[in-house]
Amino acid sequence: MLPLSEVKVLDLSRVLAGPYCSMILADLGADVVKVEMPKKGDDSRAFGPFVNGESAYFMSINRNKKSITLNLKAPKGKEIFKNLVKKFDVVLENFRPGTMERLGLGYDVLKKINPGLIYAACSGYGQTGPYTDRPAYDAVIQAMGGLMSITGFPEGRPTRVGASIADITAGLFTTIGIMAALVKRKSTGEGDMVDIAMLDSIVAVLENAIARYEITGKVPGPIGNRHPSITPFESFRVSDGEIMVAVGNDDLWAKFCQAIDKPELIDEPKFKINPQRVENYDALKPILQSVMAQKSVDEWILILEKAGVPCSPINTIDRVVNHPQVMARDMIVKIHHPTAGEIKIPGSPLKFNNAKVIFNPAPILGQHTDEILKELLNMNENEINMLRNNEII
């Protein structure tokens, strides 16, 4: 039995932040029912690339869910939704704040229907503050949250992180908030509202950038692949590419110097301890770079791994999906989609001794509408056909 196998989630979210959260909940065993607009569905169903007309983007973040279609703007659609809320533990949405209230389906309304309901709202700027009504996408939040200003190389342009990190961190924090509220409900019997903002999530993961600014008064900027507080902790150009080396403490510094055949650097006063290495970075970097340039990626990886120094080639995605460690951890899994056929998607990093995540394909739009309405609301075929004819579902 997976940890959340008794939890039922009514998922109104779309695109990435909310669906990423509900995917994690579904991976953990929750029964996630995705509520989508009739005919259109989640916006990401229109994002490429496509396999037999199905979005690979959508399929990669909506596994293990069921899909129903429901028009929440229609009075009958709202009535059905409210009846469903009585049967669920969690409602998840990532609309702009105020949207659910305008539909007459905000938390204050739904908690009266189901006092134990966990209502999770994941938005760009949260439910409060002067920016709450603004639209937001990942790149906008990366810019506003300062992340782009510290990403990239000196003298280069501000750079977006390659993954949609604002959406994903917000999805992760929403997951944590929901699970914390579920634990609290066990002891109190009361539901709660979880309010997560993408901007808050990015600020929360800025870690040492904010600490450095508050202590030194200097505004952090981009420094490429090096660490601002640890040296050497960066990528080096080698004879046929680049490798990443992370010398995280003084013991590793000694191992690293021995491995690169520079033992005289170990006790050199300017480099002996990490604060001195950081302070004298400009003097140290050329010395190390001249040595590292003499061998290939494979040669250095062999030498440094043998010495116990953390390092890695800078893998491209094709190498990642075929990496032996990634494969050993089942992080690339095959699923069979009824329309797209067999596809590969990222697996789950959540591993348990006594439970195993099962991967079911993302649902076709409205695939489970009839099933849910029959099982949970006791509707018959005639009622369901009438709803379909009136474009409620």
Residues taking part in catalysis? 167
For Cα atoms 65, 70, 73, give the angle at the middle one, nearest 5 degrees: 140
Name the token pair of 127: 């439910």
Q: Phi-psi region for residue 168, left (φ > 0), alpha (ψ -120 to 50) or beta?
A: alpha
Quote the CA–CA distance of 311 and 240 in Å, as a whole number.
Answer: 16
Residue identified by tokens 């997560």 is: 196
Cα separations in angstroms, 353 against 3, 80, 346, 364: 12, 40, 20, 32
Cα 76 to the center of its chain, rounded Å: 35
In the DSSP assignment, the letter for residue 353 is S
Contact 258, 206 (CB under 8 A): no
Contact 7, 29 (CB under 8 A): yes
Encode 7-35: b = buried (16+ Cβ within 10 Å), e = exposed. Answer: bebbbbbbbbbbbbbbbbbbbbbbbbbbb
